[in-house]
């Protein structure tokens, strides 16, 4: 049976660190509130001359290097992002040019924090059907450029970064066992960027009304995230005749420590099985799972044959899971 296997991972975060103590000087908040309500201690902020494509290209180059796959062998190049370099062309096309991935069909996926799972699902299915044999999936965001730095409800939650995975076809027991992706557009107003699209174009009124910034109803999103992520995890396991006890490492979207802990508890997972790095990066949206994956991979957290579960949730609303035999 033909499957997609992850043969290389990479990530890249900007050098500049913004701590909770830095934020205490910017808005009415405290390290204590941020730590207990979110688990975040610091996040990375892109510098001048760093764009989403810059971080995406660096992460992708590292993933390609690990995989031994050359850029011009890639058939499909997908960038998951809601903070592209430009409305068009796609950030994927810019990354394609940077890498020299000349044979690839390159395009962006917009599914907010679930974007990497969406891209992985598309690429996995393309490989399963034989439509592609090698794919590069990148989650990359510079969310700090669409944050309202006077809004304490949002500005401290997010950070910048990129992560990437190279997929190659395989015929043994390894690889992506299944992916499941879902959306419910009736909740779109819970988490969105209202301005700079066709509805509220990039004109002075849009900026004056601060419509170009990200807006979120955090506590509503929180409740829906826990339920949807638990459902997506159980759906992945059920589809493969497996149970939570079979999971070796759980890599959830890194939005809030309390969300991660609640899902881990519902699935009965020990904390040693749950990968968490949001204390260092905050919520990097589509980049969060591939950055965590790369850190887990490079620190030897996954052994041959381990069962790895990805679980995401984000604006749209969107959610999904992917189950992998490493
Ligand atoms: O990645 C995509 C999906 N996104 C998420 O999953 C995010 C989900 N949501 C969350 O992570 C949480 O809802 C937040 C971290 C955003 C907020 O935590 P919360 O426990 O839901 O807090 P809240 O919004 O209900 O606010 C609780 C209190 C309020 O004060 P009162 O009304 O109880 O007096 C807020 O005004 O905390 C106050 N508050 C703050 N205090 C200090 C809100 N933000 C801050 C702040 N510093 N930064």
C-alpha triplet 116, 45, 108: angle, nearest 5°? 30
Q: Which residue has the higher pLDDT, 77 or 1?
A: 77
Evaluate if residue 153 carries a pLDDT over 90. yes
State the distance from the centre of ligand 1 to the C-alpha of 219, rounded, in angstroms. Answer: 6
CA atoms of 278 and 13, how far apart (whole Å): 13
Given 173, 192, 221, the domain boundary residue is 173
Spatial CA neighbour of 177 closest among 309, 46, 21, 34? 309
Q: How many CA atoms lie within 13 A of 289 on its CB side?
A: 34
Average pLDDT, the chain: 97
Please determine, for residue 263, whether its predicted confidence score (pLDDT) is greater than 90: yes
Q: 262 near 292, Cβ under 8 Å? A: no
Which CATH number fits the domain that encloses residue 275?
A: 3.40.47.10
State the pTM of this model: 0.97
Nearest CA among 32, 320, 264, 26 for reference residue 154: 26
* Mutate which of 111, 191, 218 for ligand 1 pocket (most atoms within 8 A of beta carbon): 218
- pLDDT digits over 185-221, tens only? 999 999 999 999 999 999 999 999 999 999 999 999 9
Peptide bond into 163 cis (omega under 30): no
* One domain for residues 197 and 296: yes
211 and 297 co-located in one domain: yes
pLDDT of residue 53: 98
**Average pLDDT, stretch 283-301?**
98
Q: If you take atom 44 of ligand 1, which residue's CA is the nearest one?
A: 153
For residues 320 and 121, what is the distance between their CA atoms, to the nearest angstrom? 9
Return all residues near 25 (Cβ < 8 A) that are at least 6 apart: none
Question: What's residue 144's pLDDT?
Answer: 98
In the structure, what pLDDT confidence band is assigned to residue 162 with cuts at 50, 70 and 90?
A: very high
pLDDT tens track for 58-72: 999 999 999 999 999
Q: Pick the last residue of a domain from 107, 140, 173.
A: 173
pLDDT at 146 over 90: yes
Inform me whether the pLDDT recorded for 142 exceeds 90.
yes
Question: Would the pLDDT of 177 be above 90?
Answer: yes
What range defines the domain where residue 99 resides?
3-173
Catalytic residues: 113, 253, 283
Q: Is the minimum distance from the CB of 81 to ligand 1 under 6 angstroms?
A: no
Nearest atom in ligand 1 to the alpha carbon of residue 285 is 1
Instruction: List, in order, residues 6 or more apart from 6 with CB less than 8 Å away.
Output: 165, 166, 167, 175, 176, 293, 324, 326
Residue 29: CB within 6 Å of ligand 1? Answer: yes
**What total number of domains does the chain contain?**
2
pLDDT bucket at 45, cuts 50 / 70 / 90: very high
For residue 1, what pLDDT is reported? 87
């Amino acid at each position: 049976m033909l499957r997609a296997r992850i043969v290389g991972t990479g990530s890249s975060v900007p050098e500049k660190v913004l701590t909770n103590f830095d934020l205490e000087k910017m808005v009415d908040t405290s390290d204590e509130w941020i730590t207990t309500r979110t688990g975040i201690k610091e996040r990375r902020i892109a510098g001048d001359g760093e764009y989403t494509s810059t971080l995406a290209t660096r992460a992708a180059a590292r993933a390609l290097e690990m995989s031994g796959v050359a850029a011009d062998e890639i058939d499909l190049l997908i960038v998951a992002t809601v903070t592209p370099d430009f409305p068009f062309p796609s950030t994927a096309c810019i990354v394609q040019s940077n890498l020299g991935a000349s044979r690839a069909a390159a395009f962006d996926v917009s599914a907010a924090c679930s974007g990497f799972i969406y891209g992985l699902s598309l690429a996995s299915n393309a490989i399963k059907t034989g439509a592609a044999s090698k794919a590069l999936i990148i989650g990359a965001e510079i969310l700090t450029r669409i944050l309202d730095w006077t809004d304490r409800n949002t500005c401290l939650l997010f950070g910048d970064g990129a992560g990437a995975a190279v997929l190659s076809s395989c015929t043994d027991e390894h690889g992506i066992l299944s992916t499941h992706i879902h959306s419910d557009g009736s909740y779109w107003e819970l988490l969105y960027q209202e301005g700079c699209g066709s509805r509220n174009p990039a004109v002075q009124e849009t900026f004056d009304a601060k419509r170009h910034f990200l807006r979120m109803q955090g506590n509503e999103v929180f409740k829906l995230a826990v339920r949807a992520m638990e459902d997506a995890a159980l759906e992945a396991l059920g589809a493969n005749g497996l149970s939570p006890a079979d999971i070796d490492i759980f890599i959830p979207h890194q939005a809030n420590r309390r969300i991660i802990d609640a899902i881990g508890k519902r699935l009965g997972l020990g904390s040693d099985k749950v990968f968490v790095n949001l204390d260092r990066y905050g919520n990097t949206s589509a980049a969060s799972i591939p950055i965590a994956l790369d850190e887990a991979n490079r620190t030897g957290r996954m052994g041959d044959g381990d069962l790895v579960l990805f679980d995401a949730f984000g604006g749209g609303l969107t959610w999904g899971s992917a189950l992998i035999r490493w």
